[in-house]
Chains A and B, each alone.
Chain A
Amino acid sequence: AQTVTQSQPEMSVQEAETVTLSCTYDTSENNYYLFWYKQPPSRQMILVIRQEAYKQQNATENRFSVNFQKAAKSFSLKISDSQLGDTAMYFCAFMKSPLGAGNNRKLIWGLGTSLAVNP
């Protein structure tokens, strides 16, 4: 069974600074996907960034980037130039690579990291 661990329940960062959120996972699969989702107080879960395990290049999306270390089963999220709107819960999630179009792409989640960006 796959598990996802986020070891930092809470973090804070000053506006405009950089912060890194940690995530480790355990799987025997070789092909899979990893995600970071953001959940602000509105409860709306929003995809921040995703990584395919077969790609060695780390994914980036504007101020958000990941450090994907497949051998170490580590998938950290770096937020640069933090903004007040980045305040939210951040969840790391794992998806096993499906074998077909109709197969279950359920997400397996970590417990989340609550990030506060301070002015």
Chain B
Amino acid sequence: GAGVSQSPSNKVTEKGKDVELRCDPISGHTALYWYRQSLGQGLEFLIYFQGNSAPDKSGLPSDRFSAERTGGSVSTLTIQRTQQEDSAVYLCASSLARSNEQFFGPGTRLTVL
């Protein structure tokens, strides 16, 4: 069965440009999470989606970051006016609503020059 997929695998962009990162969760998983993995800072929670409920955006570091989840499935994380400190691996995870096990995608490595 298909796991969580993310695209692109790697993204290099110039400072000031906008980027979109995509996550396809496991079919049937209603919960979706975005995490950021930075050197020296470990992993940090960014945003959580559950079904049709309003997302928990409490982890987003600035208003340059936003995310959508269309049709309860695919999610897109958008970073506007990228900065060098946005360089990181962005991981997406999905799970069943009542499950404590999160399944992760392979991540997108973002490099901002």
Identify the A interface with B (CB < 8 A).
33, 42-47, 50, 91, 95, 101-112
Contact = CB atoms under 8 A, between A and B. Distances in A.
A107 to B, nearest CB: 7
Contacts, number: 56
Contacts of A104: 48, 50, 56
15 contacts: A43-B89, A43-B109, A44-B104, A45-B104, A50-B100, A91-B42, A95-B100, A102-B50, A104-B48, A105-B48, A106-B48, A108-B45, A109-B44, A110-B42, A112-B42
Contact of A107 (B40, B50, B102): B102
Contacts of A95: 100
Contacts of B33: 106-107
For chain B, what secondary structure do more than half of its interface residues adopt (helix, strand, loop), or is it mixed?
strand
A105 B102 contact: yes
B43 A91 contact: yes
For chain A, what secondary structure do more than half of its interface residues adopt (helix, strand, loop), or is it mixed?
loop
Given A101-B98, A102-B51, A107 B43 contact: yes
B32 to A, nearest CB: 11
Interface in B86-109: 89, 91, 93, 95, 97-98, 100-102, 104-107, 109
